[in-house]
Structure 1
Amino acid sequence: MVAGGPATGAAARAPAGRDRRVDLFVLAVEVVLVAGAALVGALLNGRGVRLHADAAPLYATWGPHLGWGTPAAVLLAGAVLWWGPAWATRASWRRLLTAGYLGSVAWTLALALVDGWRRGLIDRLTPQAEYLPEVPKAGSVSRLLAEFTGRILDFQPDSYATHAAGHPPGALLLFVVLDRIGLGGGGPAAFCCVLVGATVAVSVPVTLRALGDEAAARAVVPFLVLFPGAVWVGASADGIFAGVVAAGLALLAVQPLGRTPVRHLAALGGGLLLGSALYLSYGFVLVGLLAATVIALRHAGRVAALAAAALGTAAVVAAFTATGFWWPDGYHLVVQRYYQGWAADRPYTYWLWANLAALILSAGPAVAPALRRATVAAWSHLSGSIMKLLSRPSARRDNNFMINGERGAVVWLPVVALGVVALADLSGLSKAEVERIWVPFAVWLLVAVARLPAADRRWWLAGQAVTALAVNHLVFTSS
């Protein structure tokens, strides 16, 4: 026996043990935050404070129930828990992505069907405040875009309903196009949300693998399949939004195709998708921070990829502007519209922290402990780099945000996504309903789970599944 061997092993196990205890402490904080938000929300509702959320911090109504989707969701969760983590490490890449996508579709549909075929899917996008009632009034595409800003403010004869007015015209235009190609009505719209939203189970791991971390990409797939936010992906337009943003970022991450003139075609496509995302939600201007992070994490062709992406985004902006919609005008008008409605009543001091509780229920309990690990790694790297730079000004900078000799996508993407969420929260333009609105950001927070110990991931995955099942069976969520 080598002298000091057991002591060395014990020393190595000690930090791991401390990290697990800290993970459990963070989990306890999450539980207290969610319980506190629910208790305070109930008290405020009882006192007549206009939270406009019966099951605060969720925009939902209380109503324990079962449905046709219950056994399917339970069985699917059990199968992913039993086989998913191990199978994800050894399956071929193509089979893994295919299974991830199909599993995500199945999970989302099963959760939706807990509420029933009509209430859970077909009728989700048909209420007066939603997009579909506005589709017959849209007229031609050119007319829709030219007249859009004039119909944003409320209390006018031709004002748009809440969801159509609260987003740029691309969101409504999407459902208009579906209607024009023969896929009108609640059913096709709901299935479009599910099918496009589930693509995040492909786009996120593709991004991580393209940025050099296939192990992390594989580890994240089961968590993307059992994503609690699937409760809101099926069916709301934010599922489509999440799919578009994730696909755009994945295309930015794809490395150049040889040395042909079209080697940055993927980055151009990413720019087109992210430019389109700007016209789905005003909040997606913050996606620019994630896009910049992805490009910085590439190991080659950063400048050319940035130029191609910028070109694609500029082309989309130019197209919408030429047809009559000027994005800054829409944004300023939608802020006014926001305070013409429930936002004027909802107290900022409650939702500032209750939003985070809603995010926990959407992203899942595994995210905060994983984010804590990612944030610690990012801070350690930054402080070390600063000290090195101060002590050796001529030293070369670390390449690709490397952390401990490994590519840092699994650290920087969730940390930047956390910063994006913080900015959105502080803005006061996301008071309530963030469990749905922040789904496009939550899937990138989920990347951090790859930093959790492999031996613990099945337990954290179980927590994700239980959270989704509990939410879906205790309340009736709203779009």
Structure 2
Amino acid sequence: MTSETIQAHFVATRERAARVGLCVAILLVVAAMAVPAVTGWDVRAGAFPPLHSIWVPRVGPGTPLAVLLGVLACVWAERAARWSWPQLLGAVYLFGVLWMLALATVDGIQGIGGILDAKTEYLQTARSVTDVGALLRGYIDRIPLDSTGHWPVHIAGHPPAALLFFTGLVRIGLGSALAAGMVVTFVAASTTVATLLVARRLGGETPARAAAPFLAVGPAAIWMCVSADAMFAAVAAWATLLLACAATSRRNWVTMTAGLGAGVLYGMCLMLSYGLPILGILAVIVLALARAWRPLPWVAAGVIIVVAGFAMLGFAWWEALPVLRNRYWAGIAQHRPGLYWTWADLAAVTVSAGPWVGAGIAVAIVDVRRSTADEADTGRRVVAWLAIAGALMCAAAAASQMSRAEVERIWLPFVPWMLLATGLLPPPWRRVGLIVQVAFAIVVQTLLYTRW
């Protein structure tokens, strides 16, 4: 076969894979919505599973801005992909902030961080913290549901760094729901920047440029603006960028400092969420793509510094995890059927990422199987593996049975990596796909009140 014939074969294979992946994504979401509705099965997730949501059609002050931004994104996407790298990253960040705020304010100004003031969330408790040392020493004792003064749901369900983040905001005068929501939004928008930089650092700049609009706008922004998990996603993305820098640098001091920095941030991820050890999948794939394992000792040292530091202050992660597991199964999780949520969680994260993620992941699977010396194909394989890492992390989280429902929020740290796969799609697919993603986000936010 000639090279032209082989190339044509792969183009056709990618087209078929994209169609199959899109169909699977749509069918998965439809099935997850239809099964409880048709059977009357109470899966304990509000009125519109697989999302933790209720049906509340509405428009608000943010609706016109969301529509305008969506149109601009679709019109300027291809042109923006040719901008200089700093211009592209700046535009992606600013556009991402505006997109998140526009979707949030469909519910008015209270849509920006209002949920953070709920009794199940962080701010009310953060305002009452007066002694951080005592907080850490007594943290585990207050996780069980039957303990005296037990923690609210979100605080009990996370290690203390999440609460300490909001405690810090309170102490510097940013403890209102609006102020905290704005901080989370500005931090969350940097996730896209770090994700794109990782792809570029590993040699996948061209498909990363093509994927940039999908990371800047899309349904995930509905939850990014109002959820602490969006802040977790940013910490994870910047940790991975430092790891990529450590793995690709030829300077020993860069490998050491960047590797140690990556370890510290990954360690902070462990102190933010019990589910984020799954980031190890992404870290291993980054090191494998860079073909460099030298940073590992420095990364491990950074993680140990953070975990041991918290332990010396009174919070031992390994002691807290089994206590949290008992609290988790003592709550609503025991009533959420695993027979449904093991696969419906994947439908929920498909809604969060948008249906075009299915097409992208399918093409990524095709691309990782292709082995050539062509530079363009190497870049595609890099992005394909990063996207597959995102999908594998979701699969591992689902298999753990510790994420029954609410994963449209909980799995935000995994979503941007999967969305990188949209940069592997053929140009016509990307043009149509961006329109679908934008419209899908606006429709979801307009029709459903998602509670996060």
Letter in 2 for 1:324: G
Q: CA deviation at 1:110?
A: 0.5
Q: Which amino acid aligns with 2:133?
A: S
Q: Identity over aligned residues, as a percent?
A: 38
Residue number among 27, 40, 51 corresponding to 2:44 in the alignment = 51
Q: Map 1:227-306 onto structure 2 (within 5 A).
A: 227-254=218-245, 259=251, 261-262=253-254, 264-298=256-290, 302-306=292-296
Q: Secondary structure at the match of 1:334?
A: helix
2:80 is the alignment partner of 1:87: yes
Asked if structure 1 preserves the Cα contact closer than 8 Å seen for 2:367 and 2:381, the reply is no
Q: Deviations over 1:97-153 (max 9, x none)?
A: 1111001101100010111111x1142101111111211343311111111000001
CA distance in 2, matches of 1:99, 1:329: 44
User: Are residue 338 (structure 1) and residue 328 (structure 2) matched?
Assistant: yes
Q: How does 1:29-428 map to 2 (within 5 A)?
A: 29-43=24-38, 46=40, 49-88=42-81, 90-118=82-110, 120-254=111-245, 259=251, 261-262=253-254, 264-298=256-290, 302-379=292-369, 404-406=377-379, 408-428=381-401
Q: Is the 8 A contact 2:345 2:398 kept in 1?
A: yes
Over aligned residue pairs, what C-alpha RMSD do you find? 2.4
Aligned length in residues: 451
Structure 1 unpaired stretches of 5+: 382-397
Work out the CA distance in 1 between the residues paired with 2:76 and 2:317: 47
Q: What are the Cα deviations for residues 248-280 of structure 1, in whole angstroms up to 9, with x where unaligned?
A: 101111256664745532222121111100011
One-letter identity of the residue aligned with 1:359: V
- C-alpha separation in 1, matches of 2:201 and 2:104: 32
Instruction: Give the alignment's TM-score, normalised by structure 1.
Output: 0.89
Residues of 1 paired with 2:402 and 2:349: CA distance?
Answer: 15
Contact 2:17–2:363 at 8 Å: present in 1 too?
A: no
| Matched residue SS, 1:304 | coil
Pick aligned residue for 2:18 from 23, 34, 38: 23
Partner residue in 2 for 1:451: 424
Contact 1:257-1:264 at 8 Å conserved across structures: no
User: What is the distance in 2 between the residues matched to 1:31 and 1:164?
Assistant: 34
Which consecutive segments of 4 or more residues in structure 1 shift more than 4 A?
Answer: 8-15, 255-258, 402-407
Shift of 1:338: 0.6
Aligned residues of 1:272 and 1:309 also touching (Cα < 8 A): yes
Question: What secondary structure is seen at the aligned counterpart in 1 of 2:416?
Answer: helix
Q: Which has the larger radius of gyration?
A: 1
Structure 2: how far apart are the matches of 1:161 and 1:286? 25
Question: 1:141-199: CA deviations, max 9, x gaps?
Answer: 11111110000011333100000000111111111111112211211211121111110
Distance in 2 (CA, whole Å) between partners of 1:85 and 1:271 is 36
| Alpha-carbon distance between aligned partners in 2 of 1:64 and 1:447, rounded to the nearest angstrom | 31
Structure-1 separation of matches of 2:22 and 2:282: 26
Q: Which has the higher mean CA deviation after the structures are superposed, 248-257 or 362-371?
A: 248-257
Shift in Å, 1:223: 0.8
Deviates more, 1:186-195 or 1:256-265: 256-265
Deviates more, 1:258-267 or 1:166-175: 258-267
- Indicate whether 1:436 and 2:409 are aligned: yes
For 2:8 and 2:369, locate their aligned partners in 1 and report how far apart those are by CA, in whole Å: 23
Gaps of 5+ in 2: none
Moved more, 74-83 or 29-38: 29-38
| Cα distance in 2, alignment partners of residues 69 and 94 from structure 1 | 28
**SS where residue 212 of structure 1 aligns?**
coil
Aligned equivalent of 2:440, options 458, 463, 467: 467
Is the alpha carbon distance of 1:110 and 1:154 closer, same or farther for their aligned partners in structure 2, counting shifts above 3 Å?
same
CA contact (8 A) 2:219 2:354 kept: yes
- Residue 303 of structure 1 and its aligned partner are, at CA, apart by 3.5
Per-residue deviation at 1:30? 2.2
The superposition leaves residues 65-90 of structure 1 with CA deviations (integer Å, 9 ceiling, x where unpaired) of: 111111111111111111122321x2
- Which whole-Å CA distance do the structure 2 matches of 1:326 and 1:108 have between them? 35
Distance in 2 between residues matched to 1:30 and 1:209, nearest whole Å: 28
Look up the equivalent residue of 1:243 and give its one-letter code.
A
Please give the secondary structure, in 2, of the residue aligned with 1:130: coil
